[in-house]
A and B are shown apart, each in its own frame.
With several copies, the nearest count.
Chain A
């Protein structure tokens, strides 16, 4: 049996090495073609002159603005400031949101009360939180982070709640008869069983953290993406607005590709969800 077990792995490993190599390049090629095509189309539409350039600039103009902003060091500093805020805000939302989502998803009385409230609160635009942020946190970083948390928290909560609610009951039953109780039941069964679904909630939460950050950064002037965006808009500088949009999209796609997508892929492979 020992020999039987060892016989197979050798050729297969070489094989899997190959196929991973292949699998890693194809997506990037696709991505490059896709985004390249997108930019090309955009450029062509912009050049066709259907819309005035000051409203619908070509990507070359936008990238020029971006390069200029980055060259002056402004955009990178701004992005760095914003990234720090979003990191902190997202981390806080994550911690509270996961706990809250677990509770709401599994405790029926909480679901009926707090759950509805969360859904209501989530519908509130970030601008509603600005006065309270100033009132409770003062004119400080904390106020901005508060706005980020208010924007992302409920989204994460709802995502976790949904994941947890849709946990196949069979797993919970199995865990209960095996002696899992209280917290362990949540952390060792409900949470991992729901992880594929929860991950999508976290992804949504991440994007809403961005949205709220852009609103929160308008509380007062600091060099940040939110203010660059607003300044661009105030000056009717479509190129700057789009450059900031591009930065948000690039950061978003990068985070997706380096954090969420691999995580999701691994989780799904492990959970046997790939077809």
Chain B
């Protein structure tokens, strides 16, 4: 089932060589990722799909440089990754907004680190706040926002620093359909105009197909890539497009099998309650 990860002719912006990760938890060791190799071309949009706990977030953490792989190496732009870098930005699954900063300051945070002058910083931040439709909430604090609003602040914060590689961990999970739709279009246009490289984790197969050049399907326990799909559909893509829906259906089938091969194969437990 496992397809070989293909190598491109142009040098990959991101290269993983035999990267694996094992956690030593209170509950014994968990092999979150089996050794995995992967190349990502500059400007590629890669979507990661897979059952819960299959190591998608772990993979993004490794690429972001927040965790060190148990084996193997990660290369970004040909240089080994030893820590976070301004070329890669990770958007966390839970947002991880700073509660002591208001919305504007949160969005400005990354820009301030680059030493951007105040005026430009404010301008850029405002553009991104507007882009995620939080105009009017610039001075609100995190705990005053709804779940979806927080997620949008996190998106604006990550995009504001304009990194070469964007690592997005379920960024649109808490968004309503319409905002999600808008954000898709927004992200796609940013990606197209700036040729960023995007690694995008989602649970929504159609979202993956609508956005990705490539879709990687993971299986859990141990985490590994079990399938890879190239999506050559013309852009902009519509979620209602027939070809897209078909492609999504194929991936869903693989995904189901991936899930079945990991822990979901366990006998359904008796009806509790």
Residues of A within 8 A of B (CB): 1, 4-5, 7-9, 11-13, 15-16, 19, 170-171, 173-181, 184, 188-189, 192-193, 195, 267, 270-272
Contacts and interface: CB of A to CB of B under 8 A. Distances in A.
A15 B26 CA distance: 14
A167 B53 CA distance: 25
* Pairs of residues from A and B, 10 with the lowest C-beta to C-beta distance, nearest first: A12-B29, A272-B143, A9-B28, A178-B110, A8-B31, A179-B113, A174-B96, A176-B84, A192-B100, A16-B24
B114 A179 contact: yes
Nearest to A181: B113
A267 B114 CA distance: 27
Contacts of B136: 1, 5
Contact of B98 (A9, A184, A193): A193
Contacts of A270: 26, 99-100, 141
Interface stretch (B117-125, B171-179, B208-216, B259-267): B259-267
A181 B110 CA distance: 11
B104 interface: no
A170 B90 CA distance: 12
B148 interface: no
Contacts of B109: 175, 178, 180, 188
Contacts, number: 103
A121 to B, nearest CB: 31
A137 to B, nearest CB: 39
Interface string B60-101: 000011100000000000000001101011101010111111
A179 B110 contact: yes
Interface residues on B, range: 35 or more
B173 to A, nearest CB: 17
Contact of B29 (A13, A178, A179, A271): A13
B251 interface: no
A272 B142 contact: yes
A177 B89 contact: yes
A13 B110 contact: no
B182 interface: no
B66 to A, nearest CB: 5
Contact of B141 (A170, A173, A193, A272): A272
Contacts of A176: 65-66, 83-84
Contacts of A12: 22, 24, 28-31
B263 A180 contact: no
Contacts of B206: none
Nearest to A269: B26
Interface of B: 22, 24, 26, 28-31, 64-66, 83-84, 86, 88-90, 92, 94, 96-101, 109-110, 112-114, 135-136, 141-144, 157-158, 161, 221-222, 262-263, 265-266
Given A9-B28, A12-B22, A170 B96 contact: yes
B222 A7 contact: yes
B113 A271 contact: no
Nearest to A271: B99
B261 to A, nearest CB: 9
A8 B143 contact: no
Contact of B222 (A4, A15, A272): A4
A177 B157 CA distance: 11
B265 A1 contact: yes
A9 B141 CA distance: 16
Given A176-B65, A177-B88, A189-B98, 8 more contacts: A5-B136, A12-B29, A174-B97, A177-B64, A178-B157, A179-B84, A180-B113, A272-B141
B208 to A, nearest CB: 23
Contacts of B29: 8-9, 11-13, 15-16
6 contacts: A8-B31, A15-B22, A177-B64, A177-B65, A193-B98, A272-B99
Nearest to A3: B221
Contacts of B266: 1
B225 to A, nearest CB: 16
A13 B30 CA distance: 10
Which residue, B64, B83, B100, B221, has most C-beta atoms of chain A within 10 A? B100
Contacts of B89: 177-178
Contacts of A4: 221-222, 262-263
Nearest to B25: A12
Nearest to A272: B143
Nearest to B137: A5
Nearest to A185: B113
B87 to A, nearest CB: 10
A185 B85 CA distance: 14
A5 B99 contact: no
A267 B101 CA distance: 11
